[in-house]
Structure 1
Amino acid sequence: MILRKASREEVVRLRSIADYQFGWPAGDHLIPGDCLVGISPATRRIREVYGDEGLIAVLRAHDYQFSLSLLGGRLLKSCFPPPRHRVVVRAPLESKSVPTRLVVEVDPLLRPGDEVLVVDESDRLLGVGRLRMPVRDILEGCAGEAVRVRKLVVEKPGA
């Protein structure tokens, strides 16, 4: 991966992708003006976006949409009020699969395949992942995996 500072045009394009995927003003919150980008050596396309604190998101090759890191999840959470982009669960996550029985609330605007923030009932970020079922099926209590979690927030011992 080739790491370099993003050009002004690349920042505008990345912010446009984020605004399209998550809604305005996600682009301004997720993509800092001085971000670094990871370029694929094979395709010469942007694959990763880094901020001051680390990896924010990865651009998926097949659809050129963002897969969020935990940092990206925190940034997205800070720019939208609940329940936007959130799946609220009632118990701490112990695995990377959220069954529908644990879901308390879901953003009604979400669709299967959307990037979601998995939060507890007090809106603390537990993880980021991808919605696997339609919201209607989740709320009706159909059995199955509601969210496939990609990254879990790890609680530090003694914290």
Structure 2
Amino acid sequence: MSNSLSKIQYCSKPTRDEIDMLILLLNYFYGDYTQKIVENLNLDDLSFCYSKKTKRLRAIMYRNEMFAFIRASDFRLIPHIPLAILLHKVIPFPKHRIVVINEIVPDIMGSHTIFSKHVIQGDENIKPFDEVLIVDEEDNLIGVGRAIISYEAMITSLRGPAVQVREKVER
């Protein structure tokens, strides 16, 4: 079991109410078009994992892989690559995306930070601490991360970090 799951007591198959809660979380953070994700999942492969101490939802597993994590401080849905791939398919461009220069993609694969000077386009509604999909100029998914600054600051700034890369797509 990974370190992030070490504090989780048990995982169980979700009830209808829990699936509805997942749909609400996806809709709230990523828009109404994300409901298609849950409709296309095999619900038998979905597991909800809970904290030992608080009994609150902490992680969602799909086919024994981390699908999403729930941040304890604000109940924010943090996507991992399996969910990010599905989000990338259903969310229209450029929503929830940061587009980086193609030449920098190999460097991103070995790094944990994307700098403002490498961001060329994205969703104008991105705020600090939003979870974003990181894509190249052809809208190929590179990874997921957390915006450090707003989209406006990313585009206008010539230096400084813009996105903290959380996880990358294996190539």
Q: CA deviation at 1:142?
A: 4.1
Q: CA deviation at 1:141?
A: 2.4
Q: TM-score, normalised by structure 2?
A: 0.84
What secondary structure does 2:37 align onto? helix
What is the number of residues matched between the two proteins?
A: 155
Q: CA deviation at 1:25?
A: 2.3
Which residue of structure 2 aligns with residue 62 of structure 1? Answer: 73
Which residue of structure 2 aligns with residue 110 of structure 1? Answer: 126
C-alpha separation in 1, matches of 2:138 and 2:64: 25
List aligned pairs for 1:127-142, cutoff 5 A: 127-142=143-158
What secondary structure does 1:88 align onto? strand
Which residue of structure 2 aligns with residue 79 of structure 1? Answer: 90
Work out whether 1:12 is the aligned partner of 2:20: yes
C-alpha separation in 2, matches of 1:9 and 1:25: 20
CA contact (8 A) 1:14 1:27 kept: no
Q: Read off the aligned partner of 1:82 and give its amino acid letter.
A: F
Which residue of structure 1 aligns with residue 53 of structure 2? Answer: 42
What secondary structure does 2:129 align onto? coil
C-alpha separation in 2, matches of 1:33 and 1:46: 20
C-alpha separation in 2, matches of 1:62 and 1:11: 21
Q: Pick the structure with more helix per residue.
A: 2
CA contact (8 A) 1:68 1:128 kept: yes
Any idea what the Cα deviations from partners look like across 1:20-61, whole Å, max 9, x if unmatched? Answer: 111112244158461211111211111111223622100110
CA contact (8 A) 1:29 1:75 kept: yes
What secondary structure does 2:32 align onto? coil
Any idea what the Cα deviations from partners look like across 1:78-120, whole Å, max 9, x if unmatched? Answer: 1112111110111211301000011111111211111100011
C-alpha separation in 2, matches of 1:44 and 1:14: 17
How much identity, in percent, do the aligned residues show? 29
C-alpha separation in 2, matches of 1:12 and 1:95: 36
Q: 1:55 to 1:131 in 2, by over 3 A?
A: same
Which residue of structure 2 aligns with residue 22 of structure 1? Answer: 30
Q: CA deviation at 1:11?
A: 0.7
Q: Which residues of structure 2 form unaligned runs of 5+?
A: 1-7
CA contact (8 A) 1:96 1:152 kept: no
Q: CA deviation at 1:15?
A: 1.1
Q: 1:146 to 1:75 in 2, by over 3 A?
A: same
Aligned CA-pair RMSD: 1.6
Q: Which residues of structure 1 form unaligned runs of 5+?
A: none
